[in-house]
Copies of this chain bind each other. A is one copy, B any other.
């Protein structure tokens, strides 16, 4: 069994951004040297998420509009009595999901034709982190079986 852990850091320019991180995750998988296994990509902050979707700018815009409708900012959330103003960011990330588990087959991310991995920031403009953890069987281990 082989395990490999990496962290991606983000400081977005806008408070909300949806960023394609597929290539960065694929690179980590290559470094890990795992032939058959799983790759966890998980936001380590509770106002951001990770999800899989299509890389199309119109759709990215639609997601932002939709999330604002389902989980509006600017409401009188009780969380804001603590001095915070980001309750909606917690709700938005809940809808998008905070993590994905990607299959690795024959040493590569085993994704469908339009599957792309996104980092979803809802309270940005400061340093935040995503863990990428790979676990599985290396090529050497497979050969020895």
**Is B99 within 8 A of A96, CB to CB?**
no
**Is B90 within 8 A of A53, CB to CB?**
yes
User: Does A103 reach chain B (CB closer than 8 Å)?
Assistant: yes
**Is A95 within 8 A of B95, CB to CB?**
yes
A contacts with B, residue count (CB < 8 A): 58
Give how many copies assemble into the complex: 3
Given contacts A62-B91, A91-B66, A96-B94, contact A5 B79 (CB under 8 A): no
**Nearest-Cβ distance from residue A144 to partner chain B, whole angstroms:** 11
User: Does A122 reach chain B (CB closer than 8 Å)?
Assistant: no
User: Does A26 reach chain B (CB closer than 8 Å)?
Assistant: no
Measured between beta carbons, the chain B residues less than 8 angstroms from A94 are 51, 53, 63, 95-97
**Is B5 within 8 A of A52, CB to CB?**
no
